[in-house]
Amino acid sequence: MNQAKRQSRKLGWRFVVLAVVVIFVLLALVRNVWVDVYFIPSESMEPLLLSGDRVLVSRTSFATEAIERGDVVVFDGRGSFAPLKSGAGPVADGITAAGQWLGLVPNNNIYVKRVLGVAGDTVKCCTDDGLLEVNGVPVSESYLYPGDEPSALNFEVSVPQGKLWLMGDHRNVSLDSRSLLGAPGGGLISTSRVIGSPIATVWPPGRMHGIDSDSPLP
């Protein structure tokens, strides 16, 4: 009888261990293929994303659609933005990388910014009226943080094939493509580095809502 009980306990523990392993594998699959959760540690994308937000990011946002001007993208900044070391991007919040559970270990290579220029575009700032200009057309940016100007730094850049020009919505505090003008790569990132797009804020409870991050530009 005692032997039967011990055997039953062993089988029970094995089932529990197997169930836990299966759950973690499924979570890893979901978060590496479809959706993931990221922590926003800075104010660079206010008012759309606030410091302390945890956002759900779709990894399939651009699987069938091209990245367009106005899209907000989460991307891997290695080889482009990583030298900023600014903490101006989201920090992975989950099991997509070892040691990053609940964002306790920051991943300073991941950022979130808005696309202002795609391949073939010329992005310039600023016009006589103080507006951003894309391909000679002044852009009215309704998503900007209240009181911010489009850019305190004057610039003009042409975006080559396979690259993006990115800027934060809170321009006065955002370290973005402008901050790397003159550096290797000129602040442009490769489209292949894009992870996805934020689709919802899932924490804190008072901030839970879907995110309409698209803001089409001419």
Active site positions, annotated: 44, 113
Helices (H) and strands (E) in the chain, counts: 1, 13
Query: Which residues have CB under 8 Å from 94's CB, separation 6+?
Result: 27, 31, 36, 37, 100, 101, 102
Task: Please give the structure tokens belonging to residue 175.
Answer: 């370290």
Could you please report the per-residue DSSP string of 3-36?
HHHHHHHHHHHHHHHHHHHHHHHHHHHHHHHTEE
